[in-house]
Amino acid sequence: MSKRTHARVVLADYKERKADEGAIDIVLSDGSTFRIPPPELWPDVVVSRVQVERAGGAAYGLDEMARGIVGDDEFDRFVADGGTSTLFHSILKDEHNLDPGESSAS
């Protein structure tokens, strides 16, 4: 019988690897980059709100969810360049096969 050893994960390295694997970089018209992190790195409050909504709780607006994922300043840059919350969620659907309001992190 073989003995199984425990896994060792360095949190910072794991998060960096996940970010590299699943982040979405969007190039804005000024050449700067707007980054949407992968669902595994979304703030817990966003994932919790999505779960509440799925269970029939208060709806989480697309704008509110996008701001929860990337922060107000980044989302404002995205919108100032012509983005919308609907486009934000369309990108999530195309790149991660997620419907608006749905998270694979839940």
Please report, for the chain, the start and end positions of each structural domain, with discontinuous segments joined by +. Answer: 24-96
pTM score over 0.85? no
Q: What pLDDT is attached to residue 54?
A: 64
How confident is the model at residue 48, as a pLDDT? 81
Q: pLDDT 10s per residue in the chain (106 long)?
A: 677 788 999 999 999 999 988 899 999 999 999 899 998 999 988 878 776 666 666 667 788 889 999 999 999 999 999 999 999 999 988 998 876 454 444 4
pLDDT of residue 104: 45
Q: So what's the pLDDT on residue 5?
A: 86
Q: What is the distance between the alpha carbons of residues 78 and 85, in angstroms, rounded to a whole number?
A: 9
Distance CA 22, CA 39 (A): 8
User: How far is residue 44's CA from residue 25's CA, in Å, rounded to a whole number?
Assistant: 22
